[in-house]
Chain A
Amino acid sequence: MNGEFVHRFLPNSAPETKRRMLKEVGIENIEEIYAEIPENCRFHGKLNIPQEPTSEFAVSKYLRNVLGKNISTDKMISFLGAGCWNHYVPAICDNINSRSEFVTAYSGSEYVDIGRQQGLFETASMLGELLDMDVVGAPVYDGYSACGDAMLMAYRSNGRSQALVPSTISRDKLDTIKLYSSGWFDIIQVNADPKTGQMDLEDLKLKISDKTAAVLIENPTYLGFIEEQGQIIGDIAHQAGAIFITSVEPLSLGILTPPGQYGADIAVLDAQPLGMHQNFGGGQVGFIACQDKPEMINLMPCWLYSATKTVVEGELAYSWHALYDRMFYVIRDEAQNFTGTSAGLWGITAGIYLSLLGSYGLAQVDKTILYNVNYIRKALNSISGININRFASTPFQEFVVDFNETHRTVEEINTALSKKGIIGGKDLSKEFPYLEQSALYCVTEIHTKDDLDKLVIALKEVLA
């Protein structure tokens, strides 16, 4: 401590307070405590970063300047999705999830952090209704890691050496699952039917065996369309003794059959569409749900917020210490789970979104999306060179746009579009080489007719 350094974040840096405290501890200088660190570990130099503190005004000004260089999607018309979707965020969601009491809370017990525990329990309850499943865990990092976790659950339940996944999942998700499974089991991709894009059942039957720990499907798939064979795939999986995992999109469950009704043993989802902004990918929050069987519940790798009773009749409490002994916090290396701080704030927000919209509102969003998607696909199809039926399956909020006949690359098209204030769909050419120059377009309830018409006009111009 050199001289009298006082700062707004450090209340006890007020000189008199600091002096009093030093006196109470019985030292002249805090160096006397630091002397405990061996000399060969000490850093005595000056850090090569700005030395002096800055006023709040200056911090704000600098950051606003730099961040101002961003061109966010609200300044353009964006058709990007691919796991981070642009939905309307109700004002209440931002209002509540910026309240200090939620933002700066952490790990208080069930007696003090009742809000957080009840909030997450309520979100889990609502997700359980969407999924038609009884057991929903606390948030994990995001949808991709939730998938990885689910596959590990399957492995731990039956010890088998392979897992089957659709070949249409994103390469990033595949990478994540591979990392989670490394050393335990192999990931094998099942072919997609070339016409529909949905899972090729013949190939599934070929690849499934008594070595299969789990079969994963996505619904809707990464490429946007609905997988209609869930029940059959689940049956095939169960016949082989494998666990059936479904990775779903919660917003779509207002109108789509929930996985609990077509045989899912485990369901995972990313709840970002339920009240989180895109946030450069920082709004993701994963959930894992499973069937209400003790052997499954014991394998859940996340916190479990359970409702329970107290010593007083009629009193409800919520605790995150349900089956605490599964967690790595207790059994360390035996646990094979390791999700700690994840995304509680977003988890609570999802509950706000769902309770605000209710099932009516949810169906409303879904309907608007379907209408919009239907409209734009028809319109795009009328542009020569564009094929929106690369996969003859029903899309939800995303679909593949095949530009191959235009003889232009998606890169060129998107660059041209951005000059017209439009952010085109995600370029799939590198991710799925067999699709060549195709893009993944995402259309949600926020797109107005005007927006959609502008896309059509722009594309016509670009491709002329």
Chain B
Amino acid sequence: MSYNKEYEQIETGYQAVRWHEPVIYNLGRHGIINEITPQADPEIQAAAKYDVENMIPECMRRKKEPSLPELSEPEVVRHYVRLSQNNFSYDSGNTVGLGTCTMKYSPKINDQLATLPEVYELHPFQKDEQIQGILQIMYELRTWLAEIAGMDEFTFQARGGAHGVFINAAMIKAYHHSHGEDFRDEIITSAVSHPANGGCPAALGYKVITLYPDPVTGDIGIEQMKAAISSHTAAMMMTAPYDTGVFDSHLKEYIDMVHEVGGLVSLDQANFNGVIGHLRAGDLGADMMHFNLHKTFSTPHGSVGPGTGAVGVKKPLIPFLPKPLVIFDGKEYHTDYNRPQSIGKVGNFMGNIGSVIRAYAWIKALGAEGITEAASMAVLNNNYLIKKMLQVKGMGIAWANRAKLQEARFTVEELFQNTGVTTFDINRRVIDYGIISYFESHEPMIVPNPITPEPSDSVTVDDLDRFAEVFDCISKEAYSNPEIVKSAPHRCALHKVLDGPLNDPKQLATTWRAFLKRNPDFTQAKGI
């Protein structure tokens, strides 16, 4: 359909760039050479007996050089600067829509500190006496987080939240094994917990029992939990509060019930942002948990990483933590590798140190008062948004009678039934009005046509007003002229993406060479 400005009922706001940045292989010029790295010292070259090619055994010598792009230095810069401008980051604009991601301001001073040479040029295998500074920060952060979470020890080796859940699941296994209770082969989780809480234990061989919240109360319910618990229960791995913003009224009871049968409790605290200082996993009785430093603790998301899942445990689980642990003898900091019961390693080295420094700096900048206030702000912002959103025609909210903490799950099922416009259509139209595409829901989508925004704490009230305004406008469009929404986006660099190839391994192409093989006649159109 032809689209013109009359369809816009409100200003379009921040607009992403609208050109097609050519794929890098179509840029540059043959024969350009960028002299970036040094040649070997002439004396060294002279001292070599062979030509360097002949230093490699013939069978392993690369015959044909790899086909890499040939761009001059300024061209590389321009290409990547333009790519960056084609991204919708927290710093670019309104990211209220990205629920469960906890988008918040990443203080730039933290970036400056985390990229100092004293960090960037540190090797993880340097002796303890050479890395006292970094060990001190790791130790101090661990002490603060232990206090904030009500736990006894922390490790920063997980590179993301799911990685943290994996560590917890592995420790559960090791713990029960050490007690001769390998018969415990069941993990209980909920459908409104992050999918990692099912995926990680399954990857370690556990049977996973998934519980669904009651459609009315939003709680799992004691009766349902009773049906799931047995003498084979190894642990309950649950997100609290839920991705829906609902806090299960019986969480403490579930924890007690699991303990009663000898199981452990692991709380995924990816959604901690609304309850910092108001609740501690340790006080609830959790044996272990994790925070997402790149969510609650402001470390930047980095285009899907690097991040850190800070795993916290109570005393009985400490022996099982990945090695090394950072310890303090009163005078100096040490890396303790002597941990015979440790689950070992989950990856190279000690994790993403940049997150540790940034999280520490964020807590320091706010203090206990400030981080508790940040949580309150996140909850206030969310509830303000809920008020505004519910004024939109066709918009509903799941579990309407429950208070919502840091986020909420809205539903446009009513709008869909009346107009045929789905949440996926709306998610392409919002871009035309300058806000980021939103998060619908994790699977399973137990709420139909879902929308899950999360304002978090560092958003402005104008962003919240704008967010609701955009939905109001699109709702009006859906009721009067649904085609505009269904054929969106209209003011984006791209038009509607063809999904078919993405679901067929014979058509998808993760590399340019694969794409060319499959589409030999493809020519990229110029301009928009």
Contact = CB atoms under 8 A, between A and B. Distances in A.
A464 interface: no
| Closest CB pairs A-B (n = 3) | A281-B349, A314-B525, A183-B205
A7 B352 contact: no
Contacts of A292: 514
15 contacts: A10-B377, A33-B403, A36-B405, A54-B365, A59-B365, A104-B300, A108-B436, A110-B497, A112-B437, A134-B510, A257-B59, A339-B162, A341-B161, A344-B303, A362-B68
Interface stretch (A139-147, A161-169, A201-209, A380-388): A139-147
B235 to A, nearest CB: 14
Interface in B48-83: 48-49, 52-53, 55-57, 59-63, 65-71, 73, 76-77, 79-83
Contact of A325 (B88, B376, B503): B503
A100 B202 CA distance: 36
Contact of A10 (B81, B84, B442, B457): B457
Contacts, number: 737
A383 to B, nearest CB: 16
Contacts of A340: 160-163, 196
A289 B346 CA distance: 20
A239 interface: no
A18 interface: yes
Given A21-B461, A41-B251, A352-B76, A53 B367 contact: yes
Chain A CB within 10 Å — which of B20, B278, B505 has the most? Answer: B505
A106 B303 contact: yes
A113 B437 CA distance: 9
Nearest to B72: A356
Interface string B509-524: 1111111010100111
B16 A112 contact: yes
Interface string A327-345: 0111111111111111111
Interface string A439-451: 0000001101100
Nearest to A279: B120
Contacts of B381: 12, 21
B92 interface: yes
A77 to B, nearest CB: 12
A118 interface: yes
A26 B384 CA distance: 9
Contact of B86 (A114, A230, A279, A316): A114
A437 interface: no
Interface in B11-46: 16, 20-21, 23-25, 32-41, 43-45
Given A139-B305, A445-B38, 6 more contacts: A72-B118, A72-B120, A83-B348, A255-B56, A314-B525, A359-B68
A426 B349 CA distance: 13
Interface stretch (A210-218, A368-376, A398-406, A455-463): A368-376
Of B53, B86, B173, most buried by chain A (CB within 10 Å of CB) is: B86
A106 B381 CA distance: 21
B278 A54 contact: no
A124 B115 contact: no
B502 A136 contact: no
A398 B21 CA distance: 40
A278 B124 contact: yes
B497 A319 contact: yes
B405 A101 contact: no
Given A36-B405, A137-B510, A322-B510, A172 B345 contact: yes
B122 A115 contact: no
A253 B349 contact: no
User: Which residue, A64, A142, A219, has most C-beta atoms of chain B within 10 A?
Assistant: A142
A188 to B, nearest CB: 17
Given A33-B379, A281-B124, A365-B37, A372 B510 contact: no
Given A122-B23, A128-B511, A281-B351, A312 B305 contact: no
Interface in A310-328: 310-317, 319, 321-325, 328
B202 A145 contact: no
Given A41-B251, A309-B501, A47 B368 contact: yes
A253 B62 contact: yes
A237 interface: no
A294 to B, nearest CB: 4
A434 interface: no
A433 interface: no
A38 to B, nearest CB: 6
Contacts of B493: 111, 114
Contacts of A282: 306, 349, 351-355
User: Which range contains the number of A residues in contact with the other chain?
Assistant: 35 or more
B23 A118 contact: yes
B525 A312 contact: yes
B228 interface: no
Contact of A103 (B56, B89, B404): B89
Contacts of A371: 40-41, 44-45, 48, 52
Contacts of A53: 365-367, 369-370
B348 A284 contact: yes
Contacts of A122: 23-25, 512
Given A37-B279, A63-B361, A141 B159 contact: yes
B151 interface: no
B59 A231 contact: yes
Most A C-beta atoms less than 10 A away, residue of B68, B204, B300: B68
A316 B497 contact: no
Among A119, A132, A362, A414, the most chain B Cβ lie within 10 Å of the Cβ of A119
Contacts of A178: 344
A158 interface: no
B387 interface: yes
B324 to A, nearest CB: 11
Interface string A38-79: 101111001111111110100110111011111111110010
B502 A321 contact: yes
Given A107-B101, A311-B496, A338-B165, A254 B364 contact: no
B227 interface: no
A41 B301 contact: no
Contacts of B306: 282, 285, 341-346
Given A130-B66, A316-B20, A304 B353 contact: no
Interface in A250-294: 253-258, 270, 277-282, 284-285, 292, 294
B223 interface: no
A224 to B, nearest CB: 13
Contacts of A83: 348-349
A416 interface: no
Contacts of B384: 21, 24-25
B58 to A, nearest CB: 9
B132 interface: yes
A423 interface: yes
A389 interface: no
Contacts of A363: 65
Contacts of A173: 345, 348
B73 to A, nearest CB: 7
Interface in A80-137: 80, 82-84, 86, 88, 90, 92, 94-96, 98-116, 118-122, 124-130, 132, 134-137
